[in-house]
Amino acid sequence: MPYHLRFTDDDLLHCRFAVSPLWETQEAVRTLGRPDRHGYHAPWLRRIQRAARELDLAPFRLLMPRRGHSPDFMGPPPIGPAATFEEEIARVRAADPDAARADLAMALADTPGALRSPQGRALLADPARTIRHLADLLEAAWHTLIAPDWPRLRALLEADVTFHSRRLAAVGLGALLPELDRRISFSGRLLTVRGKPDHGRDLDGRGLVLMPSVFSWPDVVSGFEPPWQPTLVYPARGLAGLWNGPGDHAPEALVRLLGRGRATVLTALDEPATTSALAHRLGLAPSSVSAHLTTLRDAGLLLSRRYGHQVHYERTPLGTALLAP
């Protein structure tokens, strides 16, 4: 079923990109309990698993249903393109208790049994205390899960924003939006996200925040109820190489499995690239690189995405797993 966002002239003038350390913190917590999200993040998960067990994540399990509402005040749309975690967590701490209580109730209602559980009732009984407690837990999760790697994560997210900002200048918003993810389409001022609950919403002149995310993969997340600005969160480009070192040399075991040419091409795709860019980088004939890319894609090790006249290739989680030490 599709999710629809309806644009007006004013909305087209008020779209912006953003990056949010608070959002990545919240989604990293969610990823810990979502095996379907682990594919690209196995090295990170191995490294933080012991420290993650020391975190109190029980309230988040009640408030982060697989499908449905999560409290908007816990991760509101970022205030700017370079907001710090300290600025964002201050907004969480300043949340209005009455609004937060309604927000919490919506999330608990979407988690089976949570609304009537002792833990759920406790979260609703004193929303001001709950705000402080959740903010403290988010801050602990930030320092444990995200802060040590934030320079690396921020670089990837900012590279995504730079790439798509250039695409916006080249092709316009209507053509850019479907390029963010293959589940997104845009026609007649109607943005559609396939695979979401059937729901429609008018943007009402507030525009749309476009936000790449590392830990939301593979989901496209859309929402935020008033008064928050509507936001569309999409998987960032280049996740395949996020946790790996430089991929200049194919592992010999991979060479034996795939052959040197295909192993070299797979290893080189630390970030999405076109056939011609890979051929130039590797010093190979474009026809040879094209044949290797097709074989790797057909085997489920790569996926391709079209940007105008160009096709960019990137590794799938399976392709990334083959390169793991």
How does pLDDT run across 141-159, given as a tens digit for each residue?
A: 999 999 999 988 998 899 8
d(CA 313, CA 241): 13
Report the alpha-carbon distance of residue 259 to residue 251 in Å, rounded.
11
CATH for 278: 1.10.10.10
174 lies in the same domain as 305? no
As a whole number, the mean pLDDT across the chain is 87
Check residue 1 and give its pLDDT.
58
Residue 271 — very low, low, confident or very high, per pLDDT cuts 50/70/90?
Answer: confident
Instruction: Return all residues near 4 (Cβ < 8 A) that are at least 6 apart.
Output: 190, 191, 192, 193, 199, 200, 201
Query: In this structure, are 176 and 203 located in the same domain?
Result: yes
Q: Is residue 187 located within the same domain as residue 288?
A: no
Shared domain for 199 and 110, answered yes or no, is yes
- Domain end (from 235, 252, 279): 235
216 and 260 fall within a common domain: no
Q: Residue 91: which of 107, 106, 78, 105 has the closest Cα?
A: 78
Domain count, the chain: 2
Residue 25: the pLDDT is 96
Which of 235, 269, 290 finishes a domain? 235
| 287 in the same domain as 229 | no
Q: What is the model's pLDDT at position 325?
A: 61
pLDDT per residue over 233-248, tens digit each?
999 988 888 887 555 5
Instruction: Give the pLDDT band (50/70/90) at residue 3.
Output: confident
Could you list the residue range(s) of the whole structural domain that residue 301 is in?
239-322
The predicted structure's pLDDT at residue 198 = 67
Residue 276 confidence (pLDDT): 84
Residues 221 and 147 in one domain: yes
Task: Give 24-69 pLDDT, tens digit per residue.
Answer: 999 999 999 899 899 889 899 999 999 999 999 999 988 988 888 8
Q: Tell whether 243 and 220 lie within a shared domain.
A: no
Domain shared by 23 and 46, yes or no: yes
> What confidence tens digit (pLDDT) does each residue in 167-220 have?
999 889 889 999 999 899 998 889 898 876 667 788 888 889 999 999 999 988
Q: Are 191 and 153 found together in one domain? A: yes
Same-domain check for residues 37 and 146: yes
Q: Are residues 264 and 317 in the same domain?
A: yes
Domain boundary among 235, 262, 278: 235
At 218, which amino acid appears? P
Q: Which of 318, 291, 287, 289 is nearest to 302 (CA)?
A: 318
pLDDT at 95: 92
